[in-house]
Chain A
Amino acid sequence: MTAHELIWRIAGGSGDGIDSTSQNFAKALMRAGLNVFTHRHYPSRIRGGHTYVEVRAKDEEVTSRGDGYNFLLSLGDSFARNPSEDAYYGNEELKPLAENLDELREGGIIVYDTGLFDEDEVAELNLEERAEENDWHVYPVNLRELAREHGRDVMRNTAGVGVTAALLDMDVSFFEELIRQNMSGDIQEDNLNVLEDAYERAEEFEHTHDLTVPTGENEQELGLMNGSNAIAYGALDAGCRFIAGYPMTPWTEVFTIMSQHMSEFGGIAEQVEDEIAAAALALGASHTGVKAMSGSSGGGFALMSEPLGLAEMTETPIVLVEAMRAGPSTGMPTKPEQGDLEHVLYTSQGDSNRVVFAPAGIKEAYEQTRLAFEIAYDYQIPAIVVYDQKIEGELRSVPIDFFDREPDPDVGEVLSEEEIKEAAHHESGTFKRFDSEVEGGVSPRTVPGQEGGRHLTSGNETNAYGHIEEDPDNRVAQMARRMGKLDSIREELDEKDASNQATRGPDDANYGIITWGSQQGTVFEAVDRLNENGQAVKALGVSDLMPYPETEVTEFLESVEEAVVVEMNASGQFKGLTQKELGRFGDKLSSLLKYNGNPFEPAEIVEGFEAIVENEPEVPGDSTTFVPAAGD
């Protein structure tokens, strides 16, 4: 059975320090030797509104948020009450307690701040009754007053951590160390005092629960990192030194991280007027021989479809990242969804000629961002890294050594001036930039300013010299060369064994689950549990979307009788892509979908799967949808 775990949920209002507190909590557990994983839930509001973060800690690798949680620290939403008489938000202080009870596991602990609640309102929640039913252990504490005694109301969060540590008998020195690192002066002193005071007071509580913190020991040094960090670091290590962007949730995080570090890395960052400009700037920089990227989220990426097509036609290498959020249109800005798959694959006019990777987690995000740059520059083609709001913000403990790589400043087939002189096709002062006869499809390029390399580049169809040309034979030759790159890339990825697909479960299982991108970790955890429960099931997590990994998916699907595609959208886009690419399997593939704004939990996949194999008409739970295979 699964190892002993702690899933600690801290809830409050946006602006109550939920994020920073949870990060410190996660880091302290990591430093104590545990593997950690965080899950963020937040509303599209600057201040106020119910928000929570979960920190899951185990003595073994953690790949998902898990199901439910077993410790709630509810701070109360200090921004909920509107100071004006006509309260716009209504009275929501209680929300962080009231709205978090449904998923609390049996035997769980509740610590709530009584400083912001009226006790009679708490009574309306039937907390006592529910606690008895579920064997919850409730500890009301006036965290606000405790913090106030030490000078600052806002230190409610530190007080909450102190109480948590005492109730779980944790080593408080990891928290002290973090406070010393992150704060200074009076603030540091006050926080240390609050932590100590809260810990001491809570130690005197009568402990009725038996939940403890797992203990562990890590052989490798771990770092706490989210997907945005991994993508930014992957890009920097890929030699990217030019980024242009426009803020949009959740892409903003990658843009911010890179902008903050670009000058110390000797590069250039530009915040520009809109996303069309952002992608066009990346193109302009890349055209001069610099490794460049841009990115956005759904709506902003829509604006980039023009420059994206231009990059395809002009064979200008660029990397775009697309951080999906729930759509259509502005949709739900802070909620994850995998609904932009078809958007990233096919947006822009004409036949799509691009590379698309969908990382499954933190390490994959780093790796595939590097790979995207490598492929883009080697093949003079745009590459897209598509991920979602889940990967964007989830912190995981990962081995730091994994990131110990050399930067890769190789810009592909850009000729030096000596090579231009030696090039056989260099005649009469005009460079053959787009040679349709070239072997392998990649016609070497030159960059502005180089002696002997001048040429025209155009978004119109051109001849070898880059001049506009509508001759049918030329058109066919140029199209064939450009489109042929995808086959070469597919071959190269196979040969290098740079496969981004991952599998889990016994090879001989006759039932399969396929997923793509961010849901892989959750699916894998579900598959482990299903096999422990006596089912024989295996999973395939796909990360290469274009070129599509035909061989691997075909082999997987041929080896099973039936398979379920698990994805976070309403129309089963990946299932559709699979059938389009492979031209069959319509009778073998069903869909398990979720699009309510939250990622899958392992239990939903376990229950959904069991219902599907037992041919039950309805999949349990109200947040997932089952679409049977054709002919069922």
Chain B
Amino acid sequence: MSAFSAIDQDREIDPEEYTPGIEPQATWCPGCGDFSVLKALKQAMPEVGRTPEEVLTVTGIGCSSKLNSYFESYGFHSIHGRSLPIARAAKLANPALEVVAAGGDGDGYGIGGNHFIHTARENHDMTYIVFNNEIFGLTKGQTSPTSPKGHKSKTQPHGSAKDPIRPLSLGLTAGASYVARTAATNPNQAAEILAEAIEHDGFAHVDFLTQCPTWNKDAKSYVPYTDVQQSDDYDFDYTDREEAAQMMYEVESKLYEGEVLTGRFYVDEDRPSYTEEKQATGEMPEEPLAEKYFDDDAEWKRSYDLLEHHT
């Protein structure tokens, strides 16, 4: 018998199962966009049929990273920018787990930027949600990597001289096989996209636009937005890398001019996930490694068998 009987249970799941039984310490302000991410995730998870016990959420640091305090599952709330390396090892060690990593724009595109590039490049089968509110919230309102050029804050009183990170283009270039953007102000699309991202067999990067009612009131400019898939004005093939790249370029150039586009920007269903690639080269066992430690009959090779070439 598997040591993980919770995995692959086939049953109807009530979204309320993802609500913790105990009251977590409150972090999010009233009106915070992060509530919308939580809600969308709770809606998406039963749709993909994953029980709380087979889900591991790994978060970094910041308001966003408190996600797993409010979401009942196995959770690892880690440190600034490091959710992805922890998450991808968990996925490698036990590919049967549903791994969702999450963090904010500072966490994901700033301090964790290098990990983002490399996790996307390897195309790990996991979902990465970046709560993008264009501000450092938990440290009280400093300029973030996605803050618009000219953004004034206590740490950049003259206005930021830097161009903001373009998350969609970065995700695509780095190698993510699913890149989407959704917004807190569109709960239905958000839940739909998260469900799709979770089901996607590869690295799914979701740039989730949220508002910070305390430190970045400008984020209200995200309303109204346009769903690129529903608008005839933006006809492009999101499975075509070049068209997707062109579209992202346009969208990200206009983000600060008032028009906000959301939806799927790139989907590659054909690219094998990292686990598949690694198993194909014989670099990784077919059975989940984590299972082996529960199996009393497992065979454990000894280093003694390697000593011949030392004699």
Contact = CB atoms under 8 A, between A and B. Distances in A.
B118 to A, nearest CB: 4
Contacts of A283: 86, 89
Contacts of A407: 300-302
Interface in B262-311: 278, 282-285, 289-290, 292-294, 298, 300-304, 306-307, 310-311
A306 B79 CA distance: 8
Contact of A284 (B4, B52, B86): B86
Contacts of A184: none
Nearest to A470: B25
A32 interface: no
B4 A449 contact: yes
Given A403-B303, A456-B68, A267 B289 contact: yes
B6 interface: yes
A406 B93 contact: no
A224 B310 contact: yes
Given A277-B115, A281-B86, A409-B300, A447 B290 contact: yes
Given A237-B302, A277-B115, A407-B302, A285 B93 contact: yes
B247 interface: no
Interface in A296-322: 306-307, 309-310, 314
Contacts of B6: 449-452
A300 to B, nearest CB: 14
B21 interface: yes
A405 B114 contact: no
A467 B22 contact: yes
B236 interface: no
Interface string A111-142: 00000000000000000000000000000000
Interface centre among A221, A241, A310, A448 (most CB of B within 10 A): A448
Contacts of B66: 468
Contacts of B294: 289, 416
B223 interface: no
A280 B68 contact: no
B3 A430 contact: no
A454 B72 contact: yes
B186 interface: no
Most buried by A among B56, B58, B77: B77
Interface string A440-468: 00000001111111111111100001111
A449 B293 contact: no
B5 interface: yes
B119 to A, nearest CB: 9
B41 to A, nearest CB: 15
A295 B300 CA distance: 23
B7 interface: yes
Nearest to A232: B303
A234 B77 CA distance: 32
Interface in A402-433: 403-407, 409, 411, 414, 416-417, 428-430
Contacts of B24: 467-468
A470 B26 CA distance: 12
A414 to B, nearest CB: 8
Interface residues of B, number: 65
B82 interface: yes
Interface stretch (A258-266, A338-346, A384-392): A258-266
B130 to A, nearest CB: 18
A242 B92 CA distance: 9
A411 B293 CA distance: 7
B90 A287 contact: yes
Contacts of B78: 280, 310, 458-459
A102 interface: no
Contact of B310 (A229, A237, A285): A229
Contacts, number: 226
A288 B97 contact: yes
B126 to A, nearest CB: 11
B96 interface: yes
B74 A284 contact: no
A264 B305 CA distance: 11
B310 A400 contact: yes
Given A223-B307, A242-B89, A409-B293, A450 B300 contact: no
Nearest to B311: A223
A268 B289 contact: yes
Interface string A212-236: 0000000001111100010011101
B118 A242 contact: no
A106 to B, nearest CB: 35
A290 interface: yes
B211 interface: no
A280 B93 contact: no
B86 A400 contact: no
Interface string A63-98: 000000000000000000000000000000000000
Given A407-B302, A450-B6, A263 B89 contact: no
A221 B311 contact: yes
Contacts of B304: 403-405
Contacts of A273: 114-115, 117-118
A270 B92 contact: yes
B20 interface: yes
B15 interface: no
A278 B301 CA distance: 25
Interface string B101-127: 000000000000011011000000000
B25 A469 contact: yes
B285 to A, nearest CB: 5
Interface in B1-36: 3-7, 20-22, 24-25
B61 to A, nearest CB: 8
B27 to A, nearest CB: 8
A540 interface: no
A532 interface: no
Q: What are the nearest 10 A-B pairs in CB distance? A: A284-B89, A233-B303, A223-B310, A280-B85, A449-B4, A284-B86, A448-B74, A407-B300, A281-B89, A458-B77
Interface of B: 3-7, 20-22, 24-25, 52-56, 58, 61, 66, 68-69, 72-80, 82, 85-90, 92-94, 96-97, 114-115, 117-118, 278, 282-285, 289-290, 292-294, 298, 300-304, 306-307, 310-311
6 contacts: A284-B89, A287-B86, A289-B94, A309-B79, A400-B307, A416-B294
